[in-house]
Amino acid sequence: MKRINLAPGASRALVYLLATLMALWVLFPIYLVGVAAFSPRQVIYEWPKAIVPRTWSLETMLFFLNSHGVLASTRNSVLVALITLAISLVLGAPAGYALARFPFRGRDTFRILVLSTRAFPIVILSIPLAVSFIQWGMYDSLLSVALMHTALALPFTILVTSSVFAGVPYDLEEAAMTLGCNRLQAFLRVALPLTLPGLAAAAIFTFVLSWNEVFAAVILTLRNRTLPAQVLTVLNESPIPFRFAGGFFMLAPALVFIFIIRRYLFNLWGRVVK
Amino acid sequence: MNLKRINLTPYLLLLPSLIFLAFFFAWPMIQAFTLAFQSGDGQWTLAHVQRMVQDVAFDDALRTTLILIVAILPLQFILALIMALLVQARLRGAGLFLYVFAIPLGISDLAAGIIWFSIFTERGYLTSILHSLGLIDKPFIFLNYQTPGWLYLAVVLAEVWRATAIIMVILVAGLQSIPRDYLEAAEVFGAGLFDKVRRVILPLLRPSLQVALILRTILAFQVFAVVLALAGRGMSVLASEAYRWYNSYRNPNVAAAYAALIMFLSIITTVLYLRALYTREEAMKL
């Protein structure tokens, strides 16, 4: 990895100071809502609030989790995210593989077509889709939300998997084929194992995308809410402890997932750019 | 081996995603326009668009969305550039800094709105800190539609906090493709940090900046849950109006008119950006 020498010598200290300040800018708000989420109820209503907590408690978090609809919508969110990542990978990975491996007519056109979907506010398409889903009798189902989320994730999955496959030399597959594998076997036994970490990172990112998405989810569901849709619809009428615990509960997976995929971020986003 | 035969394999591999995108991307896009511009009996009409434009909330929603974009994007790009340079600056623990800077990438707009609500709410952390500094002696209401300045500030900070990470990642990827030689050459000629950034890094980073700009602008036109979490009904943007017309008024036609408007604005902006940057590149070649 190429590095840029920002400033030599004594001003390195300043660079570290700046980096630390930036890190605090990101972390401090998360810390604050975390403190609120694990404070007992009456502490949350206290003012002025203590920045360093004196007591820890699961009361607020349990109050949120036991609130009406929260557990069911959490389950829905996980299911929608899993369906989304399954469909996106099953549809997108073959397309990504084709882009990475075959020089065929129309390849650039297809790549540009996929890239240009980024110029459209895809989430907004959930309004016409909702009307269609009502006509097709699919409204308010987890599958319909997952299909919408797949539309959101698929262009991304295609481009990312294509860059992941492009990262494994084709020679390896060719070698396997000269040793008697057919194309599918060469893919399954040679290319797939090598690309598995990259594909897993793409899958995790798709999961996060779906887990976080709220506009389409709230438009496309009525009773079968996903977690963000459920929280959003009751948010402005709900008590403060509910909001703080809900906010932390929804962001917590990001802390883990981003850590797991941090090495792949540039493959995920950087290469998509080209 | 028969070279004349066209290899069908790549097309078969692409077909499923093409069909899917036709169904769930192209089709609803067309549907958005028919919903917005057709009456119930299939006649073309501007009635829904008129209803949208004449609604009392329309002007506010459009203005607020545009103001937010103008206020948020420059801040995000400055912050993202600083973060990207820091990640690439050969620091100890650069991996840890990268992780921390990238965390908001995985946090939803709704959760980000709630995080900043905990800070800006009347009896929240900001008033507590101000109190401990002796600046105020009783809770202060920031998030009120009667003090729009504070509302804007809260929404801008929350959006800058949340959505800077994606620009940072795109810029780091761009920085990684800048050859070391260029920067070393600049150093040989005595360029300081600011000269290096201005004369070497920024020009070479232009493709990444362009992509990030387009991506962020399109996402900014859809700003939604952050506003709802922080302002409730005290502030309306285009996407929240679309949601309200669909959900509260049960009128998918006007909601689709909003969707069509957001789409129109996104496409116009993309084309304008591309043209502005394209002509400049052409001019440089001449």
Give B44's DSSP letter.
B
Q: What is the pLDDT of residues B21-40, one digit of tens each?
A: 999 999 999 999 999 999 88
pLDDT of B1 > 80? The answer is: no
Q: What is the pLDDT of residues A220-270, one digit of tens each?
A: 999 999 999 999 999 989 999 999 999 999 999 999 999 998 888 876 665
A26-31 mean pLDDT: 97
Tell me if chain B has a CB within 8 Å of the CB of A48.
yes
Give phi and psi for B38, each to the nearest 5. -125, 145
Q: Do A1 and B176 touch (CB under 8 A)?
A: yes
Q: What is the pLDDT of residue A270?
A: 57
Residue entry with tokens 């889903």? A133
Q: What value does the mean pLDDT of chain B take?
A: 89
A68-76 mean pLDDT: 96
Name the pLDDT band for A274 (thresholds 50, 70, 90): very low
Q: Per mean pLDDT, which range of A164-173, B12-21, B65-74 is the poorest?
A: A164-173
ipTM over 0.85: yes
Q: Do B139 and A215 touch (CB under 8 A)?
A: no
CATH for A68-273 (1.10.3720.10, 3.40.30.10, 3.40.1160.10, 1.10.540.10): 1.10.3720.10
Rounded to whole angstroms, how far apart are CA atoms B199 and A49? Answer: 47
Q: In b/e form, how buried is each residue of A180-196, taking b as 16+ CB within 10 angstroms?
A: ebeeeebbeebbeeebe
Distance from CA of B237 to the nearest CA of A (A): 13
Q: What is the pLDDT of residue B251?
A: 93
| Cα dihedral A109, A110, A113, A115 sign | negative
Q: Which of B58, B193, B223, B256 is nearest to A18 (CA)?
A: B193
- Rounded to the nearest 10 degrees, how much is the dihedral formed by the CA atoms of A220, A223, A227, A228? 50
Q: What is the pLDDT of residue B233?
A: 86
Q: How many CB atoms lie within 10 A of CB A263?
A: 14
Q: What is the pLDDT of residue B286?
A: 41
Q: Do B88 and A4 touch (CB under 8 A)?
A: yes
Q: Do A33 and B107 touch (CB under 8 A)?
A: no
Q: Which of B106, B140, B109 is nearest to B123 (CA)?
A: B140
Residues in a beta bridge with B44: B38
pLDDT of B283 > 60? The answer is: no
B234-248 mean pLDDT: 94
Tell me the three-class secondary structure of B51-107, residue by residue. Answer: HHHHCHHHHHHHHHHHHHHHHHHHHHHHHHHHHHHHHCCCCCCHHHHHHHHHHHHHC
Residues of chain A contacting residue B207, judged by C-beta atoms under 8 Å apart: 273
Tell me if chain B has a CB within 8 Å of the CB of A173.
no
Name the pLDDT band for A9 (thresholds 50, 70, 90): low
Q: What is the pLDDT of residue A250?
A: 97
Domains parsed from chain B with CATH numbers: 63-237 (1.10.3720.10)
Q: Which residue has the higher pLDDT, B15 or B200?
A: B15
Q: What is the pLDDT of residues A176-213, one digit of tens each?
A: 989 988 888 888 888 889 999 889 999 999 999 999 99
Q: Is the full-model pTM beyond 0.95?
A: no
Rounded to whole angstroms, how far apart are CA atoms B263 and B279? Answer: 24
Tell me if chain B has a CB within 8 Å of the CB of A97.
yes
Q: What is the pLDDT of residue A10?
A: 55
**CATH 1.10.3720.10 segments of chain A:** 68-273
Tell me if chain B has a CB within 8 Å of the CB of A253.
yes
For A49, the closest of B125, B224, B228 (CB atoms) is B125
Q: What is the pLDDT of residue A6?
A: 57
Alpha carbon distances (Å) from A1 to A62, A120, B186, B249: 45, 33, 20, 54
